[in-house]
Amino acid sequence: MSAPAPSASRDLLDRPLQFMKGVGPKRAELLERLLLKTVRDLLYFFPSAHKDRASVTPIDRLRLGQEANVRAQIVDMTSRRVAPGREIVIATLQDESGCIDGVWWNPYVADKLPPMAWAFFSGKITKNKRGLRELSNADFEILTSGEADDEEVAAASSAGPASPSFGRIVPIYSLRPKQRRPDGTEPPEVRLSQAFIRRLVWRALEDGAAAGLKDDLPEGLRKGRELLALPEAVRRYHFPESSAEVEQARRRLAFEELFVLSLGVALRREEVAKHEAARRLPLTPAIQQRIDARLPFQLTPAQARAFREIAADLEGARPMNRLLQGDVGCGKTAVALSAMLLAVAHGAQAVLLAPTEVLAEQHLRTFSKLLEGSRVRIGILRGGAAAAERRAFLAELEAGAIHIAVGTHALLEPDIRFKDLALAVVDEQHKFGVEQRRTLRAKGKAPHVLVMTATPIPRSLSLTLYGDLDLSIIDALPPGRGEVVTKLVKEADRAKVYKLIISEARAGHSSYVVLPRIEGDGVAAAEASDTKKPTSKKAPKGLWSEVKGVEEEVKRLREHLPTLRILDLHGRMPSEDKDRILRMLREGKADVLVSTQVIEVGIDLPSATVMLIENAERFGLSSLHQLRGRIGRGGLKGWCLVFGAPTTDGGKDRLKAFASTNDGFQIAEADFRLRGPGQFFGTEQSGLPELTVADLLRDQRLLQEARDDAFALVRQDPELVAAPHAALKRRVGEVFLKDERLGRVDVG
C-alpha cells in the first residue's frame, strides 16, 4: 500500500512549499522569488545542468585541476588564521589509497566535520603555496558518525547513500530569479543552497508527488515517439541514474514544449484555411506578358521560381499565406510587384506595407516609374498626411480608384477600407508582428497574403515563428552585383578611410556614414535618441562615453572634409525632409549621407559604394548585414568599413562573424547562436514563447518530429474538441495568450 492514490498525490502537488519539512517562512519567501510556491512548481523547476558525482576517485589518483569526488575519513582537523579576521579550516582526508588536505575558507565548516567520520567530498583539486595539492571548498556530506565500527563504514561505503547530492548524477539548479528588476538589471542569485533545493525536490519525489502529474500528451503519440511518461520523465530529469536517462528525460520534456508550440502554429495555419474562399487570380499568358513588359529586366531563375509559386497560390481558392525569404538585394520587390500586378489585372486591389516612411516612399517611386503610362494607379498614405490629403486617399481607396496602396503602419488603422483587396504584401516582415498580418487580412474578403523578409532565418525559427506560412526562397542575387569588401578598421586608419570616401566621391559615387544615435554623448537629451540610453545614471565610462551621434558627426565631417557635400538623415525628420535628402543623393547632388539605422531597411541607391559604420559594437549582427546590403547595388565594387570597440566577448565575436562572411544565412545562424532565439529579432517581437527545456538550435530534429505530430493531430481534429485533446488545447491557449506578440491563437 505504499503507492499513494492518484488523488492524494494530486493534493500533494498543490501543497504550499512552506509546509514541507525544512522550509520555514524565510526560505518559503526565498523560494517564491524563484516563482516556487507549490510542490508542482518545484517539480517543474528543472535543473539547468547535471553534475556527475557518481564515480569516486581514489586520493592517490587525483589530478590537479580536476573536479573530483572523494570518499574519505576525516582523520585530523585544524583551523588557522591567515589574515586578521580570516580563518581557514584544514582537514586531513584519508582513504585506502592516501591522504589529501581539504581546505575551506569558512570557519563554520569546522563544526560540521566530526573527527573520524567518513564523508563524501566534491570539489576542485588545486595547489597551495607550498606546491601541495589540496581539495578546496568542497561540498560534502557526512556518511557515518565518528564512532562508526567497520561494519557500518563498509555498509555506508558500498551501498552508496540514498542522497540527493552525492554518489550519483546530481542536478544543478539556476538560482537566479527570471524577473528583471525595475531598472532592468539582473537580480542576484537567491541565497538558497543547491543542496537545499535538491533535498526538497528529492523529498517531494519520495512522497510520490510526481505520480499526480497528468500527462497531456496523447498516449498513442507518446508511444509512437518512444517518449517517457511524464511522471517518470520528471523524476529522472531531476535525479537520473545515468547520463542516458538525462537525455531520455530531457527529450520527453523538450518534445512536449515543442509540440505545444507547434500545435499553436498548426492551429493558426488552420485558422487561415478556414477563412471563406479567396478570390481566384489565375495567371494567363496575356497577363504574364503585360507584367513582363513593365519590368526593366528579366526575373532571375530564383525570382521566377518564387513568382511561379506565388501565382499558383493566387490561382487557388485557399487564401495564400506565404513567406518570401531572400537575402538583402535579391530582388524581392520585383516579385511582389509582379504579384500585385496580377491582382490588379483581375480588377482587384493590392496593398504593400513597409516598416518605414522612407521605404514606403522608395517603393512608391520605383513602382511609379515602372508603371508610367499604364492605367494602374498607385497611392501612398503618409504617416504625417494632412487631414484633407488623408481623406482623399481614403475615398479613392474605398472607391477602388487606387489599385495599389503603399504605406506604413498607418494603413492598418480601422478607418482604412478597400473596395476589393485581394492581395496584401508585407515588406520586411520581421519588423511587424503576427497581429498586424491578421489586421491586414481583415481588410479584404479573404485576401491573399505575402510576407517578405530579408532576414534569413535558421530553419528551426522558420518552423516556429513562421511555421504557419508556406515558404518561397530566392537564393541567388541578380546579375551585376558588385563585390563588397568588409573591413574592421582601427582609429589609426581613419585618414585612409576618409581618403577613400573622397576618391569615391570624385568618381561620382556616394558613401553612407551610419551612427547608432541622432545625438552623441556630448548632448544631454537622452530621450531624443533613436536607440535607448541605459537607464542607470552611472553607466560605465568607455562603454557609453564615446557613442557618436549624427548631429555632431555631420558638423565634424563638414569641417574635416570641406570639399564634400554632406547631408544627414534620421528617423525624427519630417518625411518631406527625408524625401528631399534622398532625392538629392539619387540625383548626385550629395556625396555623403550621415544617418542612423533608419537606412538599414530597403534603401536602394545604385551609386552607393562605401558604408562606414561607427560604434559598430552597438549594432546587432543582422542590422550590420542589412546596412552592408545597401552598397554594391549598381554593380560597383563596395567597401563596408567598420569602426568598433567591443567591450564584451559577445561583441567581439559578433564583429568577427560579420567580417568573415557576406552570406546572409551564415550571418543569421551566427546571430542566432550568439544572442539566442529570444533576442534574435530584438526583444520587442521575438515572437517566441519561452522554452525551458527545449533548445531550438540543438533540438531541430525533435522540433520536426513534434511539428509533424502536431500538424497530424490538427488535421485529424482541427478544433481539438476530442476529450483527450482538451488539456492540450488549454495549454496552447496559455502559451499563446501569455504573450500577445505571438498573436492570439483561436482556441475557442
Residues at the interface with ligand ADP (CB under 6 A): 297-300, 303, 326, 328-334, 454, 478, 602, 604, 633
Residue 450 CB, shortest distance to Mg ion, in Å, is 13
Query: By CB under 5 A, which span of 85-93, 595-603, 622-630, 676-684 interacts with Mg ion?
Result: 595-603
Backbone angles phi, psi at 128, to 5 degrees: -90, -175
Q: Degrees (nearest 5) of the Cα angle 465, 470, 471? A: 85
Q: Which of residues 713-732 bind Mg ion (CB under 5 A)?
A: none
Q: Cell numbers for 703, please give them.
A: 522540433
- Please choose which of ligand ADP, Mg ion, none residue 243 contacts, taking the beta carbon within 5 to 8 angstroms, the exact cut-off set by kind: none
Burial of 38 (0-12, 13-18, 19+ CB in 10 A): middle
Residue 190 and residue 176 in contact, taking contact as beta carbons nearer than 8 Å? yes
Q: Compare residues 138 and 359 and give the one whose CB is closer to ligand ADP.
A: 359
Which region among 381-389, 495-503, 600-608, 691-699 touches Mg ion (by CB under 5 A)?
600-608
249 binds, among Mg ion, ligand ADP, none (CB under 5 to 8 A by kind): none
Asked if 531 and 615 touch (Cβ cutoff 8 Å), the reply is no
Angle between helices 332-345 and 301-315 (to 10 degrees): 30
Pairwise CA distance, residues 166 & 186, whole Å: 31
Residues near 99 by beta carbon (within 8 Å), at least 6 away in sequence: 59, 75, 92, 93
**Closest CB to ligand ADP among residues 345, 601:** 601
Nearer residue to ligand ADP within complex by CB, 283 or 328: 328
Please report, for residues 390, 589, 603, the alpha-carbon distance to residue 596 in angstroms, rounded to integers and kept in the order given.
28, 20, 13
433 binds Mg ion, rule: CB under 5 A = no
Count of positions on this chain that bind Mg ion (CB under 5 A): 1
Of residues 264 and 602, the one with the C-beta less far from Mg ion:
602
Strand partners, 451: 323, 426
When CB distances are held under 5 to 8 angstroms depending on the partner's kind, the choice from ligand ADP, Mg ion, none that residue 431 binds is none
Nearest CA to 57 out of 72, 38, 37, 75 is that of: 72
95: its cell numbers = 582513504
Q: Cβ 384 to Mg ion, closest distance in Å?
A: 23
Shortest Cβ 654–ligand ADP spacing (Å) = 22
Please name the helix (run of DSSP H) or strand (run of DSSP E) that holds residue 512, with its range, or none.
Answer: strand 510-514
Rounded Cα–Cα distance for residues 251 and 410 (Å)? 45
Closest CA to 606 of 293, 291, 292, 296: 296
Q: Least distance (Å) from ligand ADP to the CB of residue 303?
A: 6
What is the distance in angstroms between the CA of the first residue and the CA of the last residue of the chain? Answer: 42
With contacts defined by CB under 5 A, name the span among 48-56, 253-261, 519-527, 598-606 that binds Mg ion: 598-606
Q: Does 602 bind Mg ion (CB under 5 A)?
A: yes
Nearest residue to Mg ion by CB is 602
CA distance 354 to 360: 5
Per partner kind, with CB cut-offs from 5 to 8 A, the member of Mg ion, ligand ADP, none near residue 689 is none
In the complex, what is the shortest distance from the CB of residue 633 to ligand ADP, in angstroms, rounded to a whole number?
Answer: 6
Q: Which is nearer to ligand ADP, 369 or 538 (CB)?
A: 369
Smallest gap from residue 605 Cβ to ligand ADP (A): 9
Residue 212, binding choice from ligand ADP, Mg ion, none, Cβ under 5 to 8 Å by partner class: none
Least CB distance to Mg ion at residue 427 (A): 6
The distance of closest approach from Cβ of residue 350 to ligand ADP in the complex, given in angstroms and rounded to an integer, is: 16
Q: Are 249 and 240 in contact (CB under 8 A)?
A: yes
Nearer to Mg ion, 123 or 602 (CB): 602
Residue 536 to residue 610: CA distance in whole angstroms = 36
Cβ proximity to Mg ion, 230 vs 330, nearer residue: 330
Residues 6+ apart with CB under 8 A from 222: 215, 229
**Is 205 or 454 the residue whose CB approaches ligand ADP more closely?**
454
Residue 281 or 452: which CB sits closer to ligand ADP?
Answer: 452
Least distance to Mg ion, CB of residue 324, Å:
10
Minimum CB separation of residue 246 from ligand ADP in Å reads 44
Identity of the residue, 327 or 669, whose beta carbon is nearer to ligand ADP in the bound complex:
327
Q: Phi and psi for 440 in degrees, rounded to 5?
A: -60, -45
Please report, as residue ranges, which positions from 85 to 124 form the binding site for Mg ion (by CB under 5 A).
none
Please report how close the Cβ of residue 278 comes to ligand ADP at its closest, in angstroms: 25
Q: According to the binding rule CB under 5 A, does residue 620 interact with Mg ion?
A: no
Chosen from ligand ADP, Mg ion, none, partner binding at 633 (C-beta under 5 to 8 Å by type): ligand ADP
- Of 52, 5, 469, whose CA–CA distance to 244 is shortest? 52
C-beta nearest to ligand ADP: residue: 331
Query: Which is nearer to ligand ADP, 262 or 333 (by Cβ)?
Result: 333
- Least separation in angstroms between residue 426's CB and ligand ADP is 13
Q: Which is nearer to ligand ADP, 282 or 480 (CB)?
A: 480
Q: Could you please report the per-residue DSSP string of 559-626?
A: HH-TTS-EEEE-TTS-HHHHHHHHHHHHTT--SEEEE-GGGGTT---TTEEEEEESSGGGS-HHHHHH
CB of 599 to Mg ion, least distance (A): 13
Q: Which residue stretch of 376-384, 514-522, 597-605, 650-658 sits at the interface with Mg ion (rule: CB under 5 A)?
A: 597-605
* Residue 97 touches which member of Mg ion, ligand ADP, none, C-beta under 5-8 Å by kind: none
Q: Measure the CA–CA gap between 640 and 17, rounded to whole angstroms.
A: 58
The single-letter DSSP state of residue 693 is S
Binding partner selected for residue 328 from ligand ADP, Mg ion, none, CB under the kind-specific 5 to 8 Å limit = ligand ADP
The total number of residues shown for the chain amounts to 748
Q: What share of the chain is helix, strand, coil (3-state, %, to 5)?
A: 40, 20, 40
Nearer to ligand ADP, 297 or 544 (CB): 297
* CB of 505 vs ligand ADP, minimal distance in Å: 21
Residue with cell 559578433: 654
- Nine-digit cell string for 240: 537520473
- The cell numbers describing 602, all together, are 530597403
Of residues 91 and 474, the one with the C-beta less far from ligand ADP: 474
Q: Which one of the spans 362-370, 391-399, 601-609, 693-701 is the region binding Mg ion (CB under 5 A)?
A: 601-609
Binding site for Mg ion (CB under 5 A): 602
